Each structure stands twice: as structure tokens, then as C-alpha cells.
A and B are shown apart, each in its own frame.
Chain A
């Protein structure tokens, strides 16, 4: 075998290795989801969704945790969406190249890399203690809002960047002010992209466990929250709690709850991808 044939062989071997690596994670994920379905699908029925948690595995349901997750989702959207989009618009459309904008930029990039549990410590001290919100849904939602703020800001900036300059020029040429141009042209044009980013960020928030544990969300809550100051649990914490119990029945519960959580996550991701594709087609 001469050196060229050898190089060719190596090339082919690497190609096979490349395909194997690409499929490695996905195959494992599939195996795992399959395993979870086997463990948990029989446990899912209407009662599982509407039952309150209980000491007995077979009587336990996810009602309070699911309601907690929905509360968290809604409040987090209300808080993080306007702030994140506004910050993104400011950075992309208003901020001039100066020290403040450089500081904002490096700061946001850093925040995106801060571990989620650190946000939990921030929420515990600021929202729970100093603002005395207690371990409430509101404290949890505020904490998660700060956590996903960098994701929303970055997505907003990317989406705004993709709007062609010609659209802005056309609007300015007709005598529109800067804000009129942004409100009437830039934001509608970048809406799909912003929406994609926001949904992805929210799907991350729904799956977060650690910061909410630190803030003081409970594993066992007898009632679903009825106002923002109520105590709460969320699906991931309910799952975590069930995983840590030794009895097999709870493992089955955990698997069933994971199916519901994954369903929510994947549906949100699917919607985000759908918006992204629809929006990209508009511009390309």
C-alpha cells in the first residue's frame, strides 16, 4: 500500500468515525427516551395529571407541579420579554460604539455563561430575603427571568441585524423618526426571529431545576398556586424529588413526569424551529 492509498484509507475511516460520532448522542437520546417511555407511559392517565402529590406513589399526580410550571412560564414571559427585547433593541439600534456599549456587551456575554445555580443564590438573597417575596412563584419567575434575559437579548439582536438596511432607509426617507422606524418596520420584520429566541429561552426556563430549588421552591405543595405570592413546585423539582425516593413506584412516576416535561420542551422547540424556518424564508 503506498502512502496515497494509506491516506485514502484513513480518510474513509475518519468518515465512518464521523458518522458514528454524529449519531452517538442521538442514538443514546433515542434509547433513553425509549427506556423512559417503557418505564413511564403506562403510568400516564388523566388522574396522573389531575391528582395532587401523595405519600403513595400510585396515588401521586403532577397537578400542583404542572400548575406551578405554567405559572412560572407565564410570569417569566411577562417579566423577561419586554425587558429583553427592549435591551436588544437598544444595543442594536441606539447604542453608539463607546465604553458603555462595550461594557454592556461583555457583561451580557458573561451573564450568559454564569451557572444557573448562581442566579438561584441571587434570587434567594434579593427577591426572597431583601424584597421579602418569600419562596413564591413571583420570586421564582423573577429569578428565571434574569437567567434567560441574556438569551433573549442576544436573539433579539441577531434578528434585528438580519433586517436589511434598505427597509430602514426607506422609512427614514419618508420622514419617519427613529422610533417610528423601529416600531413600524424593524420590529415587525424581525418578529419571527425574536419570537424564536424567546420561545427557546422559555423552554430553557421550564426545564430549570437548580435555581428554583435554591430560591426555595418546594417538592411537596398541597395546592396549586392561585396568586403570584403563593408557594409552588414545578415539574422538574417534582421529578427530582421522585428520583431521590427509593421505592420503585416513584421511579415510574418520575419517568411519567419526564415524558410530560419532554413533551412540553420538544413542542416549544418545535414551535421555535417552525418560526425560524418561516422567518428565514421571508428574508432569503
Chain B
């Protein structure tokens, strides 16, 4: 196992160097170095290195229980609240290690937004949902909040559907609308990174298509990392794809490469549906 790991590492750093030379000069948006995670005695992440480029969509794929969600939730320190969580290694966001003692978790989460698996609007009005992030920051300027809410709803492609009923309860929306509302809620805080944990798994195909279109548009301004169990989705929307298995990063490359010419047998087996 040790040997394979080193190999993967070597392979990846070479690849990423190549990528870096090809693309713009600014470095990785998120740089992960030798990250290990335990829940109690169980080792969930077994030493992963990865660099995520700005303004790209990176997809995490792998069978359930492979650690991809755990890994994603490291980026906004959402695992901090899990009992028995322990972590080693470094995750640098714009060059700062987010697991340093001094780091303000609330500040970090303003910068790194998250959309969850099941739409989880608060049992409040549509407006209050989107304004929530601003209000908890202590912003009171009504005009400013109104503008931000409108902008976020427009970005999330929901404005036209709800602009006349902003006071209506968010729970009255359809599942797909709720998920777009959750995206708008995240956008309103103006993060630079958006984490998405299987955002379409609870939605119907039409709503899913809408969200996928949205992800494509958002890429221009945001860095997006998305966990998905749907391989077609990964190939449709992402620039890079990472394949996880049993807490290890097996392969990480341009999506095209992963899906057409994967390096590892395991990856190929998974994407061709031989296990998972």
C-alpha cells in the first residue's frame, strides 16, 4: 500500500506541474498536503495530497464510504462538529492553513460556501433564507440586503420564479427550487469557493439539469468542488475529477483523461461500472 501511495503522489505532482505551466500563473486555490482523518479509531482519510485550481469545477467520485464527502467537508471545517473527529496534515486556502489554531472558522465559512445533499432551507421566508448569512454578520442596511438577495436569486436562476412571493415560506417551494434557493443563500455571502455535497441526488432530472447549467455559469466567478455519485454528471460538468477509494485518492486528473484514459485499473473498473 505504501508503495502505491508514493506512486500516486509522484504521478500527480508531475501532472499538476504540467497543468500549472499550461494555465495561468496564480497557484492552487486549495492546496491539500498529506491529510489524514480519523473518526475515533477508524481512519477515514489515509493521507491525501491535492491541488485545486481557481475557477474550475472539480468533481469527487467514488463508491459510498470512500471518504469523498468527509474530504469535501474538511474544506470548510464542517467535520469539526463530528464526535471523535481528528485530523492531521495541512489544507491551505489562498496560501493560509485553515486548520491553524488562529483561524476563525466563521470567517472561513463565509469564504467557502456549501450546498448540501438534501435541500435544507430554514423554515422561514424565501427572503429571510437568502438574507440569513448577511444578517448573522450583523449587516443591517436594508437596501444593501435587498440588493444582495435579488442578485443572489438572479445568479441562482430563481428570481423570476419567486420575485413576487419573497415573503412566502421557503418550504412551499418545490425540491429543485429549494435547492436553487440554498445555492442563492450561499451566493449571497459572496464566497469564492462553493462546496457541493451531491447537490442533485434528491432531485428529479429536470431540476438536476437546471442545477448543472447553473454550476457551469457559476464557474466563471467561483471555484467549485462537487461530490457526486453520478458519473455522467461528473463528466458533464467538471474540469477535473478525483477518484477516491477506501479513504485514498486513487487518481486525480483532467476529467477527460479520467473518463477516456484512466491511469489506474481501479479507476477504470469504477467508471465502467464494474464495481461501486
A interface residues with partner B (beta carbon < 8 Å): 3-8
Contacts and interface: CB of A to CB of B under 8 A. Distances in A.
Contacts of A6: 138
Contacts of B104: 4-5, 8
Given A3-B137, A3-B139, A6-B138, 13 more contacts: A3-B138, A4-B104, A4-B106, A4-B107, A4-B110, A4-B137, A5-B104, A7-B106, A7-B136, A7-B137, A7-B138, A8-B104, A8-B106
A116 B88 CA distance: 58
Most buried by B among A3, A4, A5, A6: A4
Interface of B: 104, 106-107, 110, 136-139
A57 B73 CA distance: 69
13 contacts: A3-B137, A3-B139, A4-B104, A4-B106, A4-B107, A4-B110, A4-B137, A6-B138, A7-B106, A7-B137, A7-B138, A8-B104, A8-B106
A18 to B, nearest CB: 16
Contacts of B138: 3, 6-7
Contacts of A4: 104, 106-107, 110, 137
Contacts of B136: 7
Shortest beta-carbon contacts, A-B, top 7: A3-B138, A4-B106, A4-B107, A3-B137, A4-B104, A8-B106, A7-B106
Nearest to B138: A3
A4 B105 CA distance: 10
Contacts of A8: 104, 106
Contacts of B139: 3
Contacts of A3: 137-139
Contacts of B106: 4, 7-8
B36 to A, nearest CB: 28
A4 B109 CA distance: 11
B75 to A, nearest CB: 19
A6 B104 CA distance: 12
A5 B110 CA distance: 13
Contacts of B137: 3-4, 7
A5 B139 CA distance: 14
A201 B6 CA distance: 64
A5 B138 CA distance: 11
A4 B110 CA distance: 10
A5 B137 CA distance: 10
A209 B138 CA distance: 53
A1 B106 CA distance: 14
Nearest to B110: A4
Nearest to B137: A3
A7 B106 CA distance: 9
A7 B136 CA distance: 8
A12 to B, nearest CB: 12
A151 to B, nearest CB: 33
